[in-house]
Structure 1
Amino acid sequence: MPERITEHYERHAHAFDNERRKRFAERAWLDRFLLGVPKGAPVLDLGCGAGEPIARYLITHHHPVTGVDVSHEMIALCRTRFPRERWIVADMRSVPLAGPYGGI
């Protein structure tokens, strides 16, 4: 099953990204989340997709982002958009990560 999900996102990465960039339903939740994250603390974004809109929002609020996604295509978009951040192609269930992170 995980392989099928990966294949799906690889095939449809750009279409998914285009749709995600049109709406930002998580803004209120992220504002509350950031209240508990120390200023400037790194944030781990599991299942980051192409980085829009969540990683962008975190970055604009001065939080370094480490993003993890199983899709090479999605991570390639992240690396193009946000080259200063850390982007990892991996299954979030088994990726070894060095912290600490102010929020996940």
Structure 2
Amino acid sequence: MSVDRRGQAEAFDGIGQFYDDAFPHKEGQLAAGRRLAAALPPGSRVLDVGCGTGLPTARQLTEAGHTVVGTDISSGMLALAGKNVPAVEFRQLDIADLTADGPRGVGLFDGIACFFALLMLPRPEIPEALRRLHGLLRPGGLMELSMVEADLDDAAIPFLGHTIRVSGYLGDELRQVVRDAGFDIADEATYSYAPASTDVPPEHQIFLHCRRG
């Protein structure tokens, strides 16, 4: 990784097998995945950024007939993803290293699923990450993006027995950052969600339905 996120990757390596038990429902993510799968032309090429265990999104998109490439920084998560959705090409790549061309290039896509991956970046990196995703989409391509609404920048939080660093925006600022990266926001949905195995209060999740402008 060109950016040193080894601590984040190691935390998710350790979380691995417990993640899907702690987040068993994911109504918002499932709904956004269905929307993306249905809105894309049949057999589209889709990038699943921060794919985790491959569940539910990579499997959902694959079962809908799309060709999926999944990326994550955690080798542990990717090992689980390869078992959960063997038809998908999974690659260990940081979002800051995503590029269409070159030896490690991932090519261009008709759609992108980016569910909670931007949470793992310090705020100064998020606009550039969004511009990278914009550049990976073909003209008119679609992106489903989710974030937790929170006024945070690279804050250390306990998470399933590990410490991770997270960032977030309040709603209006998030929408502006996304638009500034060149996306049109067609619609949005919000959900209140609490992990099953923790005592933390419910988080406010924002799902943005975007198109490359």
The TM-score range, normalised by the shorter chain, is: 0.7 to 0.9
Q: Secondary structure at the match of 1:49?
A: coil
Provide Cα deviations, 1:8-48, integer angstroms capped at 9, x if missing partner.
1011111113333x213222222332343211111100000
Structure 1 partner of 2:81? 78
Aligned residues: 103
State how far apart, in whole Å, the 2-side matches of 1:83 and 1:30 are. 19
Pairing of 1:20-99 with structure 2 (within 5 A): 20=23, 22-25=24-27, 26-96=29-99, 97-99=105-107
Contact between 2:69 and 2:88, CA under 8 Å: does it hold in 1?
Answer: yes
- The answer to which structure, 1 or 2, has the higher relative contact order (CA under 8 A, 6+ apart) is 1
| 1:102 partner amino acid | D
2:17 maps to: 14
RMSD: 1.7
Of structures 1 and 2, the larger Rg is shown by: 2
> Which residue of structure 2 lines up, in the alignment, with residue 102 of structure 1?
110
3-state secondary structure, aligned to 2:91:
strand
The structure whose residues are more often strand, as a share, is 2
**Unaligned 5+ runs, structure 1:** none
Which protein is richer in helix relative to its size? 1
Q: Give the letter aligned to residue 88 of structure 1.
A: R
* Residues in 2 aligned to 1:82 and 1:27: alpha-carbon distance in whole angstroms: 16
Q: Aligned AA for 2:93? A: A
